[in-house]
Structure 1
Amino acid sequence: MRGYTFFVAQACALAYVGVYFGVLAARRRRGIVSRAAVADARRQHGRTFAVIGALEATAFAIQLYAAGRLPGSLISVLNQAILPFSMVASAVLLGKRYTAAQVGGAAIVVAGVLLCTAPSAVGLGAVSASTKGAVAAAAASAAAAGAGAEPAAAVAVHAALFGSTMALIGVVVVLKERLLKAGLDVFIVNSYGSAAQCVATAALLPLSVRLAAGGAPVGAYVRAGAAALTGATSPYMPWLTLGYIGANLAFNIAALNLVRCSSAVVALLASLFTVPLTSLVFCLPLPLLVATPFSWWFVGGLAIIAAGVLMYNRGAADQ
C-alpha cells in the first residue's frame, strides 16, 4: 500500500465512524448518553468537531505517505515531536502553565526516546553497530518489497514532513481534552470528530494522488488502490489493514479515556513507553520485517523514560 496510502486513511476513517457511532447508539439506548446531550454537542461544538476532523485527516494523510518511505525506528522517534507541540498547544489553548520539573521531565523523556531509537547520536561503537544493522535491515526490507531504499536526502525530507504533522496532532489532542473536560462523552467526541475526518479525508483525494502518483488520473489511481486494498496484488491484504484498524481503534479509545481521567500531556507521556517497545519488536523475526540486532540501550532508554515520567508527575503534583 506504499503508493495507495489514501485508501488506508479512508478505510480507517470509515471504520472509526462505524464503530464509534455504533457504540454511541448503544450508549444512548442504555441511557448512558441522552439525546439532548448529543444534540447540544452538535450545536455547541460543531465547528470544533470540523476543525478536529480536518486536522486529523491532513496529518494522517501526510503521515502515511511519509511513513511508507521511512525506517520504522525513525518513525517512533518522530512521533515524539507531539510532546513539545502538545505542551505549547495546552499553554496557548487551555492556558496551562508548566513547572520547571514538568519541563525537565519532558526533556528527560525525549532524551530517553532518542537514546532508545537513535543511539548513533551518542557515538558509541556498539550502538553504532546496532544502528547500522537497523539501517541495513530497513534497506533490505524495502528492497524485498520492491520499493528500493530511499536516498539520505529523501529520508530527511520525509522525516521533516512526518515530524511537522505532530503540530496538527498536538492541537487535536488538546481540543479533545477541552471537549472532554467540558463534560462531553468520549464517544460523542470520537463519533463526530471521526465523521468530520472521513469527509475531510475524501476531500484530500486530489492531494493524495498528487503526492503518491505525481498527478496521475484520479480514476486510474482509485482502481489500482482499490485492487491493492482488497488483496488483488498481495495475499497479506486486506488482513494487514484490518489488523491495523483494529489496533488503532483500541489505542485511540484507551488514549482518550486517559485524557479524560488526567490530561493530554500525561496521555502522551504514557504513550512514550511504546517507543522502546517498538524498537524491541523490530528485533524479533517477524513476517515482512527484517530483525535488527538487540541493544541494551533500548532497556536503558526505557529506564530514562520512566524517570522522566516520574519527574513530570511529581512536578504536576506540586502545582
Structure 2
Amino acid sequence: MTSCYQRFTSGPAVSHTTLLESRKPSCTAVISCLLRGQRNQRPWLVLKSLKKRSNLYVVAAGGLWERSEGEEAAVQKRKAGTWSYAVEKRRSKDERSRKVEVVVAAAVTVVLGVGNRVLYKLALVPLKHYPFFLAQLATFGYVVVYFSILYLRYHAGIVTDEMLSMPKAPYLLVGLLEALAAVTGMAAGAILSGASIPILSQTFLVWQILLSIIFLGRRYRVNQLLGCSLVAIGVIITVASGSSGHSFKDVGIFWSILMIISFLLQAADTVLKEIIFIDAAERLKGGSVDLFVVNSYGSAFQALFICILLPFLSKLWGVPFSQLPNYLRDGAACFLNIGTLSSGCDGAPLLPILFVLVNMGFNISLLHLLKISSAVVSSLASTFSVPIAVYVFTLPLPYLGVASSLPTGFVAGAIILVMGLLIYAWTPKVSSYSASSSSSITS
C-alpha cells in the first residue's frame, strides 16, 4: 500500500489540462493530477471529464478505494442530509427560543395587568369625584408620550421611513374602534354592577376566537377551544361567587348587551392590530413594524374621535358639556393636589401617575405579546390577571381601608382557570408518520 502511494506521488505533477487533452490518460497520471496537481481546481470536475472517455477508477490518499459517480451522488446526498439536519436543528432551537419569549412576555403582561387593575382602583381614591378627568388624562397623555418615544426611536434608527409610510387607514380604524369601545363601555359601566363587568368581559375571548377564524383564517384545535372555555368559566366562578347574583336582573338586558358590544369592539381592535403586523411583514419584506408606530397613530386617532364624541361622553359621566371646562379645571387641581379644592385628594398625584405609567406599560406589553403570538394568547394573559387582582384586593392595601374578603368560590374558579390555560398550551405529539406525510404534502 505504501509503495503504491509513493509511486503515485513521487513522480512529476501532471496538470489537469494535459489529462483532458490526452485520449487515454494512464491511472498514474490521473492520480498524480488529483494528488499533486493544481489545488484550486475541483478534482471531481476533472474526474467527470476523464470518465466520459475512459473507465478509470481512482486511487487516492494512501489507500486503494473506488469512487464512482453513484458513490459521489451518495456523498452529495449525505451532505444534503447533514444540511437538512442542521436546518431542522436550527429551526427547533428558534422555536424553543420563541416559546420562551412568549412565556416571558405573557408573564410580564399578567403582572402589569394585575398592577393596572389595582392601581386604577387606587387612583380613583383621590380622584373619586373626577373619574372622567382621569380617563381623558390617560387618553391624551398617551398621545404625547407615545409620539415622544416614537421620535426618539426614529432618530435612533429603530423606526424607519418605510414603517412611517405605511397606510394610515388601518390606524384610523383602530382609533375609531377604541373610541367606540370606550363610549359603549362607559355607558354600560355606569349602570352595571362592578361584579357583572368582569363576567361579561369573558365574551371578549369568544369574540377574538370568532374574529380570528373569520378574518385571519385561523383554525383552533379542540384542546385550545376547551382551554379557552375553561378559562372563561374559571373567571366567572371567581368573580360571581362574591356577588349577589341578581345584578343582571336588576339592570335589564340592554346594558348587558351594550357591554358585550363594547368587548366585541375591543376584540375587533386587537384582531385588526394583528392584521397590521401581518401586513407589515409583507410590505417590509420580512421586517416588522415598530410597536410605537402602531400605538402612536392608534392613540392619536382615538383621541381625535374622543374629541368628536366629547359632548356625549361628558353626559355619560354626569357632567354637563357646558360645565366641562370647570370640571376639568377642578380635576386638574385635585390631580396636582393644589388649591382649596385639594381636600380629600390624598394620594395625588402619585397614585394617578403610577396608574398611567403602569397602564401604559400594560398596553405596550399586551401589544408586544400580540405581535409575537396572537390575539387569543394576549387575551388569555389579560384574563389570567383578573383572579390575581381579586386576591390582591383581599390584602391590606393603602388608601382602600378594610380589605375585602376572598370569594367563596375563588379557589375552585382559580383551579379551573389554570387547568384551562394548561389545556390550551398543551400541544399533542405528532407521530413521525404523520409528520412525514404532512411534509410531503406541503412540499
Q: Answer yes or no: same fold by TM over 0.5.
A: yes
Deviations 1:13-32 (A, max 9, x none): 21211221122112112211
C-alpha contact (below 8 Å) 1:10/1:202 kept by paired residues: no
Structure 2 partner of 1:162: 259
Letter in 2 for 1:93: F
Deviations 1:57-98 (A, max 9, x none): 121233245445544443332322210011111112212122
What is the aligned counterpart of 2:369 among 255, 258, 267?
258
7-16 or 263-272, larger mean C-alpha shift:
7-16
Answering whether residue 332 of structure 2 is matched by residue 235 of structure 1, we say no
What is the aligned counterpart of 1:291 among 394, 398, 403?
403
Unaligned ranges ≥5, structure 2:
1-126, 281-287, 335-340, 431-437, 439-443
Answering whether residue 174 of structure 2 is matched by residue 52 of structure 1, we say yes
Following the alignment from structure 1 to structure 2, what is the Cα–Cα distance between the partners of residues 316 and 267?
Answer: 22
Following the alignment from structure 1 to structure 2, what is the Cα–Cα distance between the partners of residues 303 and 151?
Answer: 26
Letter in 2 for 1:193: G
Letter in 2 for 1:163: I
Following the alignment from structure 2 to structure 1, what is the Cα–Cα distance between the partners of residues 139 and 181?
Answer: 13
Distance 1:316 1:21, change over 3 A: farther
Deviations 1:218-252 (A, max 9, x none): 23133124313431364145544333222210110
Structure 1 partner of 2:212: 90
Structure 2 partner of 1:143: none
Structure in which a larger fraction of residues adopt helix: 1
Following the alignment from structure 1 to structure 2, what is the Cα–Cα distance between the partners of residues 230 and 275?
Answer: 32
The count of residues paired between Structure 1 and Structure 2 equals 288
C-alpha contact (below 8 Å) 1:4/1:212 kept by paired residues: no
- Specify which structure has the bigger relative contact order, considering alpha-carbon pairs within 8 angstroms and separated by 6 or more residues: 1
Answering whether residue 306 of structure 2 is matched by residue 201 of structure 1, we say yes
C-alpha contact (below 8 Å) 2:150/2:293 kept by paired residues: yes
Distance 1:108 1:22, change over 3 A: same
Deviations 1:115-157 (A, max 9, x none): 11112xxxxxxxxxx545x99xxxxxxxxxxxxxx99633865
What is the aligned counterpart of 1:32 among 145, 158, 164?
158
Following the alignment from structure 1 to structure 2, what is the Cα–Cα distance between the partners of residues 155 and 225?
Answer: 32
What is the aligned counterpart of 2:226 among 100, 104, 109?
104
Structure 2 partner of 1:116: 238
Answering whether residue 139 of structure 2 is matched by residue 13 of structure 1, we say yes
C-alpha contact (below 8 Å) 1:57/1:200 kept by paired residues: yes
What is the aligned counterpart of 2:380 among 262, 266, 269?
269
Deviations 1:252-272 (A, max 9, x none): 011111111111101111111
- RMSD over aligned Cα atoms: 2.9
Structure 2 partner of 1:173: 270
TM-score normalised to structure 1 length: 0.79
TM-score normalised to structure 2 length: 0.59
C-alpha contact (below 8 Å) 1:54/1:196 kept by paired residues: yes
Q: Secondary structure at the match of 2:426?
A: helix
Distance 1:67 1:288, change over 3 A: farther
Unaligned ranges ≥5, structure 1:
120-129, 136-149
Structure 1 partner of 2:250: 153
